[in-house]
Structure 1
Amino acid sequence: MTSKDKLAAQNTYLFLAALFITSLVVSNLIFQKFFYWYPLEVEIFGTKLFEISVGILPYPVTFLITDLISEIYGKKRANHVVIAGIFASFFSLLIVYVSNAVPATDWSPVQNDLFSKVFGSTAIAVFASMLAYLFAQFIDIQIYHFWKRLTKGKHLWLRNNFSTFTSQFVDTSTVLILLCSFGKISLDLFFGLLVSGFIFKIIIAVLDTPFLYLGVYLFKRKFQLKENEEISLL
């Protein structure tokens, strides 16, 4: 690989990492709004099946990016992005905590009570999300590379979906258990939100598979990578 190609690979890695971190941080900040993602009103376990948090919308992007980084840059680089995401989330939590602590002026468009209502639960959300995220992302990377070794770099769809299905179930169940434990979500809503969130994530995982194939194809064509070959940024 030429020095020009290596620089392009480094810049692309930074872009993917930035997109990953942004998606993760934003998902923690907007989680308190819930919506219907399907127009039919179907109930399961006493909860409307298609009710989910808007925080789930950017979250599948993180798993697509870690799979892409795992495929092109390797397991070590994917783990680096996960750790950077953890740091960014806790740093955003610190900013929100300080912002919530300082008093608003009389003319401030957003007063203390409104700010606390919107962002007051962010600390719990970030804590719950980070624990779930840690389990899910590392499981996703481990399973992805297990299938990659087993299939000798073939059947991209298999490792993409198998790793994402497992990790997304871990993520969804863990964060809901923690939020219910802290009283942020009623326990009665647990199973409905779990099923609804997991179904949504499975659909997104299946739909993002063509985008993963496209990304891998473009990378391999750009950097002339052989099958199962990874880019080294050292």
Structure 2
Amino acid sequence: MTLKDKLAAQRIYILLGALFITSLVVSNLIFQKFFYWYPLDIEIFGTKLFEISVGILPYPITFLITDLISEIYGKKRANDIVVTGIFASLFSLLIIYTANHVPATSWSYVKDDMFNTVFGNSAIAVFASMLTYLFAQFIDIQIYHFWKRLTKGKHLWLRNNFSTWFSQFVDTFSITFLLCSFGIIDWANFKGLLISGFLFKVIIAACDTPFLYLGVYLFRKRFHLRVNQEINLV
């Protein structure tokens, strides 16, 4: 690979990392708003099917990006992105905590009570999300590369979906359990939110498979990569 190609691959890696971190941090900030995604009036354990947090919308993007980075840049680069995401989450937590304790002026459009209502639970959410995120992302990467070695780089759809399904169940169960434990969500909604959240993520994982194939195809064409060949940025 030429120096020009390596520089281009490095820039793309940075852009993917930026998308990953943005999706992760934003999902932690907007999680308190819930919406009803599915048009049918179906209830599971007293909770409407796909009655889920808006924080779940950008979160699957993080798994698509780590799968793409795992495929093209390798396991180490994917793990680097995960660690960077943890640092970004901690830093955002510090900013939110500081902003929440700074008193608003008398003419401030957003008062202390309003700010605390929207962001007051963000500290708990970020902490809970980081714990679950850490487990889920590393599980996703490990399983992805297990299937990649087993299939010798073939059957991309298999490792993309299998790794994401398992890791997303771990993530959904953990974050729902922690939010209920902290009193942010009532325990009566636990089973319904767990099933709704997991099913939503499974559907999204299936839908993003063509985009993963497209991304891998474009990378291999642009950088002349063979099947199972990875870009070494060093």
TM-score, structure 2 normalization: 0.99
Amino acid at match of 2:104: A
Amino acid at match of 1:210: P
Q: Is the 8 A contact 1:67 1:141 kept in 2?
A: yes
Match of 2:44 in 1: 44
After superposition, where does 1:1-234 map in structure 2 within 5 Å?
1-234=1-234
Amino acid at match of 2:154: K
Structure 1: which 5+ runs fail to align?
none
Amino acid at match of 1:93: L
Does 143-152 or 32-41 show the bigger shift?
A: 32-41
Alpha-carbon shift at residue 40 of structure 1 (Å):
1.3
Partner of 2:35, secondary structure, is strand
Alpha-carbon shift at residue 49 of structure 1 (Å):
1.5
Q: Is the 8 A contact 1:49 1:196 kept in 2?
A: yes
Q: Is the 8 A contact 1:32 1:118 kept in 2?
A: yes
Amino acid at match of 1:66: T
Q: Distance in 1 between matches of 2:228 and 2:201?
A: 27
Q: Distance in 1 between matches of 2:17 and 2:88?
A: 11
Amino acid at match of 1:74: G
Q: Distance in 1 between matches of 2:121 and 2:44?
A: 27
Q: Distance in 1 between matches of 2:49 and 2:18?
A: 33
Partner of 2:93, secondary structure, is helix
Q: Distance in 1 between matches of 2:134 and 2:170?
A: 10
Q: Distance in 1 between matches of 2:226 and 2:220?
A: 7
Q: Distance in 1 between matches of 2:50 and 2:194?
A: 10
Partner of 1:35, secondary structure, is strand
Q: Distance in 2 between matches of 1:160 and 1:104?
A: 47
Taking only the aligned residue pairs, the percentage that are identical comes to 76
Alpha-carbon shift at residue 78 of structure 1 (Å):
0.1
Partner of 2:103, secondary structure, is coil
Alpha-carbon shift at residue 228 of structure 1 (Å):
0.4
Q: Distance in 1 between matches of 2:25 and 2:199?
A: 23
Amino acid at match of 2:172: T
Structure 2: which 5+ runs fail to align?
none
Q: Distance in 1 between matches of 2:100 and 2:84?
A: 24
Partner of 2:231, secondary structure, is coil
Amino acid at match of 2:162: F
How many residue pairs are counted as aligned between the two chains? Answer: 234
Alpha-carbon shift at residue 82 of structure 1 (Å):
0.2
TM-score, structure 1 normalization: 0.99
Q: Is the 8 A contact 1:41 1:50 kept in 2?
A: no
Deviations 1:121-171 (A, max 9, x none): 001100110111011000000000000000000000000000000000000
Runs of 4+ residues deviating >2 angstroms: none
Q: Distance in 2 between matches of 1:2 and 1:209?
A: 30
Q: Distance in 1 between matches of 2:15 and 2:46?
A: 43
Root-mean-square deviation (CA), in Å?
Answer: 0.4
Partner of 1:52, secondary structure, is strand
Alpha-carbon shift at residue 94 of structure 1 (Å):
0.4
Partner of 1:153, secondary structure, is coil
Q: Distance in 2 between matches of 1:26 and 1:50?
A: 20
Alpha-carbon shift at residue 48 of structure 1 (Å):
1.2
